[in-house]
Structure 1
Amino acid sequence: MIGHKSIRLLSGRKFCPKWQTLSMSTLPGNQEERQAYIVSATRTPIGSFRSQLAQFTAPQLGTIAVKSAVEKSSLNKEMFEEVQIGNVMQAMVGQDPARQCSLGAGLPITTPTTTVNKVCASGMKTYMILAQAIQCGHLDVAVAGGIESMSNVPFYLPRGEVPYGGAKLIDGIVYDGLTDVYNKFHMGVCAERTAKKFQITRQEQDDFAINSYRKAADSAKLVSSMEITPVEIPATKKQQASQVTDDEEYNRVDFNKFARLATVFQKEDGTVTAGNASTLNDGASAAVIASGKAVKQHGLTPLARIVAFADASVDPVDFPVAPAYAVPKILQRTGLKIEDIAMWEINEAFSVVVLANMRMLKIDPALVNIHGGAVSIGHPLGMSGSRIVNKLALHLRSGQYGMAAICNGGGGASAILVQKM
């Protein structure tokens, strides 16, 4: 292949490192037509638990994000061939949340939809599935994204005979979102085990979390202007109409209390607290994904190209370090090295997650979560994977590579490599 060592991507096609340029015309015709690009990307603000966005269901928030992403793409709504949305806690949101987002955003009734549940990696997985569909020639224009309203997750009452002594309500957030189903304990217990295994102290986790909050505060205006589609709050008898334009969580921190917070999941020698873990939140994120063929036909200016992606799985109790097994797969497939990645987004499910993965992969901390992360702005489970991919597509500089990685319950992880156009 013109004197260069070839590399095989997930699509099975070979490409030459020489073709990793910003000029789309340098790719062979058929390969370029089947290249997946992120054309537009946006999200709602992230609301705190039972706060500003609690009046909206997950599909309603998703409708706002999908509609905005479609409008930002400048593509005719009739061109959209599929919508895939990640959503974890689907009790009482109604049938097929992705379908609700699609129709709510005004896309044609003939547009197929699919809701994806891969726990915290749900939103990211939609990008991967749609990129594969583009590579295979099955579609040219689609919407990917993720949604969650943790404020509206119901309590469950199991069906069946009522036992002696009465029935017990089960918190849907804890049961379907935050419990390791294999070991029957909270995901925070897994985080504690990771901290012990890697000898990551409470102080290290607190310092990381405080830094996350400070980065979120320092970059709030930039993030709001580049990433966020405002949410309109309708007027009621008690309040006037308003608009939410900023993430809510990072403003609620009190650094003076950080060191005094009790450990949650392990009382003796515990390290994980409410301060250095992510919070319960509401939000939605979406992006328009298009093929090289569509980009050329419609004169689009892509934000980034999806270079490669991978999943990985480890023992469920070790889920915090699963990203460190997904990332090397991508590097091997593309021939890139850790030092070739200019910007990293590793989801902050817990501070210890990022600390452990940075250590395992030997990543420069200065390149990771430069605007803060889930610890400081929140972690609406189905949304977060989409948010961190969009972050890279919007904030990388031309030609730079960015890697997004996210762990998920059950011992899994997903990662995506993008290159800014």
Structure 2
Amino acid sequence: MENVFVGGFARTPIGKLDGNLKTLTAEALAVEAIRAVLSETGLSSDEIGEVIIGNAKQTSTHSNLGRYVTLAADLPVKTPAYTVQRQDASGMQAIINGYAKVKSGNASIILAGGTESMSQIPYEILNARYEFAPDKIVMHPIEAMITGGLPREKYGIVTLEAINKAMGEKYAITEEEQKEFVQLSQRKAAESPLKESITSIQVKLKKMTLDITRDDIYDRIEMKALPADAAAVCLLMSKSALDDNNLKPIAEIVSIGTSAGDPLGEGLLGTAAAKKALNKAGKSIENVDFIEVNEITAAQVLATAQSLGISKSDVETKVNVHGGALATGNPWGAAGAILLERLISSLKKADKEWGLALCGAAGGQAIAVVVRIV
């Protein structure tokens, strides 16, 4: 079995819903990230064995987004590509798929990541083909589209507010504690020096051209992550591929774990996924240096910390050390890939070695990845 390394990565800034990046499609954002990682590493696109892109809010437009962006980014037509969907964890799932292919020796270089334009998600009009009349149309905005494919007759319409409330009550997390965590995330994000992997995006707005170089930061206190726009990709490579292309590895993906559970509780925390990944790596939660958790809601992150045995002091110093989605918003399909890249950048910046990225997903699923800086 091959060891799997990250040979390079890039991402766009994260844009607020209907903000500076609202005119860019998920495809356009992914193309920017792909071109950036190839430019920064100097890797020839001919070397890429496959492209795998995660996208949560898929539509009938470019239903195989992975193939579309591969061609739009001017990669060779011979390059296979496909799209995966695992809600918030779609980008991380794409990376895991690429990891598995390199690990098994079936590829030496995979370009994987995720993309999402929450600003451009269309409304759904149910039953339009049968009864297209204004008084019979049911339209679903973005805020209602978070059920993760759950059977509505069994779970009803699941909202992030309901999930946050349920977890707060179950784990005895007060509203004040949640507010403090949101403020902590926003402060960390605002003070973050991490710019290494962010590629600038030029956006034309009316008569101006803006050069977007940093993530947008929300300053209002919300217990749930707001929708956002972004894309992130990384190069997964074998040792021989790195050597052949004169590239140095940034990090090694050591182990992975997946889990599923109660969609309104334990499943979203991903405790089982984290423990699987840590056990495979021979690590405990106490001896990883940093932990990145997708901030879907404030109570969910604090409940995750409780369930993994992370102390309150470590929540402040080891969890999401440069802020998270409660500060910048949650670009679903890109979220998991951004988590992994932020974790690697954070470890390198602090001269640390071991990290855990944990990404929960709507519907009660989660993915965990353990990385080591090399």
Structure 2 residue 197 is matched with structure 1 residue 227: yes
Structure 2 residue 358 is matched with structure 1 residue 405: yes
Describe the shift of the 1:356–1:165 C-alpha distance in structure 2 as closer, same or farther (beyond 3 A).
same
Describe the shift of the 1:163–1:81 C-alpha distance in structure 2 as closer, same or farther (beyond 3 A).
closer
CA positional deviation for 1:143: 0.7
CA positional deviation for 1:75: 1.2
CA positional deviation for 1:87: 0.3
The alignment yields a C-alpha RMSD, in angstroms, of 1.8
Residue 415 of structure 1 corresponds to 368
Describe the shift of the 1:304–1:83 C-alpha distance in structure 2 as closer, same or farther (beyond 3 A).
same
Q: Determine helix, strand or coil for the equivalent of 1:166.
A: helix
Residue 292 of structure 1 corresponds to 239
Structure 2 residue 122 is matched with structure 1 residue 149: no
The within-5 A match list for 1:122-137 is 122-137=90-105
Residue 353 of structure 1 corresponds to 300
Q: Determine helix, strand or coil for the equivalent of 1:407.
A: strand
Query: Scaled by the length of structure 1, what TM-score is found?
Result: 0.82
The within-5 A match list for 1:74-85 is 74-85=42-53
Task: Give the number of the structure whose alpha-carbon radius of gyration is greater.
Answer: 1
Residue 199 of structure 1 corresponds to 172
Structure 2 residue 340 is matched with structure 1 residue 374: no
- 8 Å contact from structure 1 (residues 85, 144) kept in 2: yes
CA positional deviation for 1:191: 2.3
CA positional deviation for 1:388: 0.5
Structure 2 residue 156 is matched with structure 1 residue 184: yes
Residue 135 of structure 2 corresponds to 166
CA positional deviation for 1:411: 1.1
Residue 225 of structure 2 corresponds to 278
CA distance in 1, matches of 2:42, 2:3: 19
CA distance in 2, matches of 1:200, 1:369: 19
CA positional deviation for 1:240: 2.3
Q: Determine helix, strand or coil for the equivalent of 2:135.
A: coil
CA positional deviation for 1:292: 1.3
Q: Determine helix, strand or coil for the equivalent of 1:53.
A: coil
Alpha-carbon displacement from aligned partner over 1:386-407 (angstroms, at most 9, x marks no partner): 0010112222135611100011
The within-5 A match list for 1:14-413 is 31=1, 34-158=2-126, 159-162=128-131, 166-171=135-140, 173-178=142-147, 181-182=150-151, 183-188=155-160, 189-219=162-192, 222-223=193-194, 225-234=195-204, 238-248=206-216, 250=217, 252-254=218-220, 258=221, 275-318=222-265, 321-363=268-310, 364-365=314-315, 366-397=317-348, 400-413=353-366
CA positional deviation for 1:239: 1.4
Alpha-carbon displacement from aligned partner over 1:158-190 (angstroms, at most 9, x marks no partner): 243218872324225345435662312223212
Describe the shift of the 1:393–1:178 C-alpha distance in structure 2 as closer, same or farther (beyond 3 A).
same
- 8 Å contact from structure 1 (residues 313, 322) kept in 2: no
Q: Which runs of 5+ in 1 are unaligned?
A: 1-30, 259-274
CA distance in 2, matches of 1:36, 1:203: 42
- 8 Å contact from structure 2 (residues 146, 159) kept in 1: no
CA distance in 2, matches of 1:321, 1:161: 36
CA distance in 2, matches of 1:114, 1:179: 21
Alpha-carbon displacement from aligned partner over 1:81-124 (angstroms, at most 9, x marks no partner): 10111101112542311112212222111111111100011000
Describe the shift of the 1:104–1:193 C-alpha distance in structure 2 as closer, same or farther (beyond 3 A).
same
Describe the shift of the 1:93–1:174 C-alpha distance in structure 2 as closer, same or farther (beyond 3 A).
farther
CA distance in 1, matches of 2:133, 2:36: 52
1:281 is matched by which residue type in structure 2? A
CA distance in 1, matches of 2:84, 2:149: 19
2:341 is matched by which residue type in structure 1? N
CA distance in 2, matches of 1:362, 1:171: 38
Runs of at least 4 residues off by over 3 Å: 174-180, 319-322
CA distance in 1, matches of 2:201, 2:61: 19
Q: How many corresponding residue pairs?
A: 363
1:350 is matched by which residue type in structure 2? T
CA positional deviation for 1:320: 5.9
1:286 is matched by which residue type in structure 2? V
CA positional deviation for 1:70: 1.9
Q: Which runs of 5+ in 2 are unaligned?
A: none
- 8 Å contact from structure 1 (residues 88, 117) kept in 2: yes
1:211 is matched by which residue type in structure 2? L
Describe the shift of the 1:298–1:95 C-alpha distance in structure 2 as closer, same or farther (beyond 3 A).
same
- 8 Å contact from structure 1 (residues 405, 416) kept in 2: yes
CA positional deviation for 1:69: 1.4
Query: Scaled by the length of structure 2, what TM-score is found?
Result: 0.92
CA distance in 1, matches of 2:54, 2:292: 18
- 8 Å contact from structure 1 (residues 85, 98) kept in 2: yes
Describe the shift of the 1:84–1:243 C-alpha distance in structure 2 as closer, same or farther (beyond 3 A).
same
